[in-house]
């Protein structure tokens, strides 16, 4: 059975592009365009994994992640954060302060390279 | 003898001689001529019976004319009563009576004489009167002169305007003049003569003892400085000069001398001294250098400010160094010319002008000079004085201001550039992701041998470049992040190297670390600082092109307020024209696509935000040295107060 992935990003073009990649890898994809919608979709769709953009209007990725992880019924769902930050600069505020605090299961810097994204998703799902 | 002779005409002797006048006449004549007194003999009616030669000399009348003449013819009518009384009433009989009497000679001379008369009575020749006349004109004159001179001395004594005194050994004034009374404020001499000198006059009573001892020892005291009390107790400073008065045995019985009141002089001297002191302090305490020279150029005033400015000490300069040695060649002459010209602030003045002086080490020190000629009362030039203001602090300040201004401009620029970069990065990320995703999707759809595949790979590659640029932009934008904590610089370097050393770029590079183990920690952002070091290390490795050396050294300033990190490579070096641009954003010498030109700009911004700076020395073909200086204290961001204590010590 295909795994269901919830993709949350405020950029429709980006959502469309990533959806295409994930669908080509035989994932079920549901989408949301802001944090609040994303949280609603988590409850309604019960995805196996969430790909969550950090910078969004209304509720940003950190806040969404925090709510998810503080909810015992949802905290088991792995979250892959998409940041605009290079992961190899570990002392920056985003990664050091926010990324770690959010308890995201993994994070990936934008722009997203399709292969890397798929690999990370597969690796999170296999845990 | 004279005395005896005057007694000669005693009644007994004359009586003996009288009866034998005729027989003894010759002998009497002889005797009468031997004395210095004029002798007359006349009878009761004053007819002259005898006159000797001296009597003739005194009266100015020949002896022959005198005989038979009335005695009053000789002596004039003065005191006729006295003579008549003596002679006629016989009051003087048997007695010698003397009086002074003036005699006018026929020649018009007035002679003062002492006349003594004695009368004798005999039975045979009746009453005879003997008159002895002595010329005392000279003696009288002498007496008068003496009297006059004594008066003069007394006048002098009284009128001298310094305090004269005669004092007793026991300690009282015996005499003093008006000036002394005035000096001591006594209203009368009697009052002054009554005081006890040791107790009432001397402020320090032992001074009188010293005065007495010194007079006994030396025979005088000259200008001994003592303090006297006035009647009202006010003190006067006096120069006391004194001599002893001795009795016939040579023992001191008193003193005489003079008191010179120098209270006023002392006060003026003290005022003068204070004024001089004040001016000396004024000159000495000036921050500016003050140098005065005579007209030959010999320095005679060289204050502390001048010492600080030139590095010479006053003792090395005064009387030893010529003023021209403080100026570059020819400058001293030009200054003198300008001083005497009316065009630079007026004759004798020099309005402030900027020039250099030579310090002890021969270096030029920029100064501002204002100078003036000093004239004496007659208008002759006697000296020049120059005030030297050290311009170094001002120039430094101006430079710093300029730098600060530039930095302000640049950090403002940086900040807005940072915001823009962050915005661009975020906006571009998603489309870039799109490009990457669609191109990879396309690639998967194409058969392996499709020639379009190469083009697609190129698209992915170019998108990757964009991704790198965006990443750099974001790093550049983040350089002012505020988080600060104590950072171990040595560790930041070691950590940075750990990730880099294994990369292919570093395979043939020998890295030597000389890290000071006692290096103070720097307050800052460790990640940013590591990024700075990493950037510089990568740049060094790239400049080396293959094999070479990279030396990394850390050390602190002697006062441990700054930390230095030095990276020296043996790379290709940086051409001089690029040295000033290497920290500009987007400046790169790397091939297109190899570098964003943001690495050093970011590093510089980070160092600056830590209150530090990056300096670079480079020589093409030999290599480059990057030195990063970081203040130990976080408060030192302006770099103005380097004395702030190290919070970590």
Least confident of B122-136, B150-164, B216-230: B122-136
Give the contacts of B574 (CB within 8 A, at least 6 positions apart).
B543, B582, B616, B618, B620, B624
- Nearest CB among B426, B437, B481 relative to A84 is that of B426
Chain A residue numbers touching B525 (CB-CB < 8 A): 91
Residue B285: helix, strand or coil by DSSP? coil
Q: How many domains does chain A have?
A: 1
Pick from B516, B511, B492: nearest CA to B606: B492
Mean pLDDT of B515-533: 87
Chain A residue numbers touching B431 (CB-CB < 8 A): 13-14
Q: Which helix (H) or strand (E) holds B7?
A: helix B2-7
Q: Which helix (H) or strand (E) holds B441?
A: helix B392-445
Give the contacts of B79 (CB within 8 A, at least 6 positions apart).
B99, B101
* Contact flag B441-A112 (C-beta cutoff 8 Å): no
Set out the domains of chain B in order of their start, with CATH numbers: 2-142 (3.30.450.20), 160-266 (3.30.450.20), 286-390 (3.30.450.20), 400-475 (1.10.287.130), 482-638 (3.30.565.10)
Chain B residue numbers touching A54 (CB-CB < 8 A): none
Asked if A51 and A65 count as a contact pair (C-beta separation under 8 A), the reply is no
Q: Smallest CA–CA separation between B468 and chain A, in Å? A: 9
Which residue would you say has higher pLDDT here, B579 or B221?
A: B221
Least confident of A63-67, B79-83, B116-120, B267-271: B79-83
> To which residue do tokens 């990640």 refer?
B527
Which residue would you say has higher pLDDT here, B22 or B619?
A: B619
Interface of A with B in 87-106 (CB under 8 A): 89-93, 96
Mean pLDDT of A44-71: 87
Residue ranges of alpha helices (H) inside B185-238 are: 189-193, 206-218
Q: For an interface test with A, which of B430, B438, B439, B446 has the most A Cβ atoms less than 10 Å from its Cβ?
A: B430
pLDDT at B293 exceeding the cut of 70: yes
Asked if A33 and A19 count as a contact pair (C-beta separation under 8 A), the reply is no
pLDDT at B87 exceeding the cut of 70: no
pLDDT at B6 exceeding the cut of 50: no
Mean pLDDT of B349-367: 89
Mean pLDDT of B287-315: 92
Pick from B529, B540, B482: nearest CA to B631: B529
Q: Does A44 touch chain B (CB under 8 A)?
A: no
Q: Smallest CA–CA separation between A90 and chain B, in Å? A: 8
Long-range contacts, stretch B406-415, CB < 8 angstroms, 24+ apart: B407/B608, B411/B605, B411/B608, B414/B479, B414/B480, B414/B585, B414/B605, B415/B480
Provide the pLDDT confidence category of residue B153 given band limits of 50, 70 and 90.
confident
Query: Over pLDDT 70: what percentage of chain A?
Result: 84
Distances (CA, A) of B464 to B174, B421, B565: 125, 18, 33
Asked if B512 and B566 count as a contact pair (C-beta separation under 8 A), the reply is no
- Nearest CB among A55, A84, A113 relative to B436 is that of A113
Q: Smallest CA–CA separation between A68 and chain B, in Å? A: 25
Which of B76-90, B307-321, B579-593 is predicted most confidently? B307-321
- Mean residue pLDDT across chain B: 82
A–B: how many Cβ contacts below 8 A?
Answer: 74
Mean pLDDT of B583-597: 70
- Nearest CB among B437, B466, B481 relative to A93 is that of B481
Give the C-alpha separation, B406 to B384, whole Å.
Answer: 43
pLDDT computed for residue B302 by the predictor:
93
Strands B48-51 and B38-43: antiparallel
Mean pLDDT of B33-39: 82
Global pTM reads: 0.36
* Contact flag B436-A111 (C-beta cutoff 8 Å): yes
Range of the domain at A25: 4-125
Q: Could you tell me the two tokens for A36?
A: 């609040």
Least confident of A53-67, B154-168, B428-442, B579-593: B579-593
Helices B599-609, B392-445: inter-axial angle, 10-degree rounding: 130
Express the helix, strand and coil content of chain A in percent, nearest 5 each.
Answer: 45, 20, 40
Mean pLDDT of B210-216: 93
Find, in chain B, the residue whose alpha carbon is nearest to that of A54. Answer: B426
* Contact flag B441-A14 (C-beta cutoff 8 Å): no
pLDDT at B645 exceeding the cut of 80: no
> To which residue do tokens 């010759």 refer?
B26
Q: Domain of A48: which CATH number?
A: 3.40.50.2300
pLDDT computed for residue B86 by the predictor:
67
With 0-12 CB in 10 A as exposed, 13-18 as middle and 19+ as buried, what is B440? buried
The ipTM is 0.71
Q: Does B467 touch chain A (CB under 8 A)?
A: yes
Q: For an interface test with B, which of A110, A115, A118, A119 has the most B Cβ atoms less than 10 Å from its Cβ?
A: A110
């Amino acid at each position: 059975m295909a795994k269901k992935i919830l993709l949350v990003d405020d950029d429709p073009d980006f959502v469309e592009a990533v959806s295409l990649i994930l669908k080509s890898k035989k994932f079920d994809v549901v989408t949301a365009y802001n944090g609040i919608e994303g949280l609603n979709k988590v409850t309604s769709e019960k995805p196996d994994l969430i790909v969550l953009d950090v910078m969004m209007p209304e509720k940003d990725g950190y806040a969404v992640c925090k709510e998810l992880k503080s909810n015992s019924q949802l905290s088991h769902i792995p979250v892959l954060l998409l940041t605009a930050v290079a992961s190899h600069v570990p002392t920056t505020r985003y990664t050091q302060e926010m990324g770690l605090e959010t308890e995201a299961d993994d994070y990936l810097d934008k722009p997203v390279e399709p292969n890397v994204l798929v690999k990370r998703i597969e690796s999170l799902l296999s845990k | 003898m004279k005395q005896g002779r005057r007694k000669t005409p005693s009644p007994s002797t004359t009586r003996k001689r009288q009866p034998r006048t005729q027989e003894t006449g010759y002998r009497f004549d002889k005797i009468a001529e031997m004395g210095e007194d004029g002798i007359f003999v006349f009878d009761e009616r004053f007819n002259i019976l005898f006159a000797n030669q001296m009597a003739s000399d005194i009266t100015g009348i020949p002896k022959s004319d005198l005989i038979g003449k009335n005695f009053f013819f000789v002596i004039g009518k003065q005191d006729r009563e006295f003579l008549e009384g003596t002679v006629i009433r016989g009051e003087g009989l048997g007695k010698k009576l003397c009086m002074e009497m003036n005699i006018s000679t026929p020649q018009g001379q007035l002679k003062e004489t002492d006349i003594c008369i004695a009368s004798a009575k005999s039975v045979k020749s009746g009453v005879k009167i003997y008159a002895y006349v002595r010329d005392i004109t000279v003696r009288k004159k002498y007496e008068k002169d003496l009297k006059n001179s004594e008066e003069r001395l007394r006048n002098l004594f009284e009128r001298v305007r310094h305090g004269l005194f005669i004092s007793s050994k026991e300690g009282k004034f015996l005499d003093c003049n008006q000036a002394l009374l005035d000096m001591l404020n006594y209203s009368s001499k009697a009052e002054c003569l009554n005081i006890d000198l040791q107790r009432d006059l001397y402020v320090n009573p032992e001074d009188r003892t010293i005065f007495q001892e010194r007079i006994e020892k030396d025979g005088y005291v000259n200008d001994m400085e003592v303090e006297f009390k006035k009647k009202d107790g006010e003190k006067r400073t006096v120069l006391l000069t004194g001599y002893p008065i001795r009795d016939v045995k040579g023992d001191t019985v008193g003193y005489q001398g003079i008191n010179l009141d120098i209270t006023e002089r002392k006060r003026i001297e003290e005022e003068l001294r204070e004024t001089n002191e004040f001016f000396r302090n004024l000159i000495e305490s000036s921050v500016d250098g003050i140098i005065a020279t005579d007209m030959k150029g010999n320095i005679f005033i060289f204050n502390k400010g001048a010492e600080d400015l030139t590095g010479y000490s006053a003792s090395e300069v005064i009387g030893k160094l010529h003023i021209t040695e403080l100026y570059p060649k020819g400058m001293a002459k030009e200054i003198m010319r300008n001083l005497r010209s009316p065009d630079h602030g007026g004759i004798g003045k020099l309005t402030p002008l900027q020039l250099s002086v030579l310090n002890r080490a021969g270096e030029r020190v920029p100064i501002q000079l204002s100078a003036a000629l000093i004239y004496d009362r007659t208008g002759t030039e006697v000296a020049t004085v120059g005030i030297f203001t050290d311009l170094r602090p001002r120039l430094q300040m101006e430079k710093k201001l300029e730098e600060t201004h530039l930095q302000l401009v640049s950090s403002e620029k940086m900040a807005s550039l940072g915001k823009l970069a962050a915005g661009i990065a975020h906006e571009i990320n998603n489309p870039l992701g799109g490009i990457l995703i669609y191109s990879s999707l396309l690639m998967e759809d194409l058969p392996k041998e499709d020639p379009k595949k190469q083009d697609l790979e190129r698209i992915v590659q170019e998108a990757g470049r964009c991704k790198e640029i965006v990443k750099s932009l974001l790093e550049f934008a983040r350089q002012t992040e505020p988080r600060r904590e104590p950072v171990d610089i040595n560790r930041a370097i070691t950590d940075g190297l750990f990730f880099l050393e294994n990369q292919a770029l570093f395979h043939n590079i020998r890295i030597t670390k000389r890290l000071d183990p006692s290096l103070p920690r720097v307050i800052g952002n460790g990640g940013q600082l590591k990024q700075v070091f990493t950037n510089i290390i990568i740049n060094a490795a790239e400049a080396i092109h293959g094999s070479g050396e990279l030396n990394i050294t850390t050390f602190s300033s002697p006062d441990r307020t700054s930390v230095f990190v030095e990276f020296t490579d043996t790379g290709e070096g940086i051409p001089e024209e690029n040295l000033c641009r290497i920290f500009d954003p987007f400046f790169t010498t790397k091939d297109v696509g190899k570098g964003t030109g943001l690495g050093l700009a970011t590093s510089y911004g980070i160092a600056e935000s830590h209150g530090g700076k990056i300096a670079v020395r480079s020589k093409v073909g030999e290599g480059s040295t990057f030195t990063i200086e970081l203040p130990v204290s976080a408060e030192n961001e302006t770099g103005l107060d380097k004395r702030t204590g190290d919070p970590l010590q």
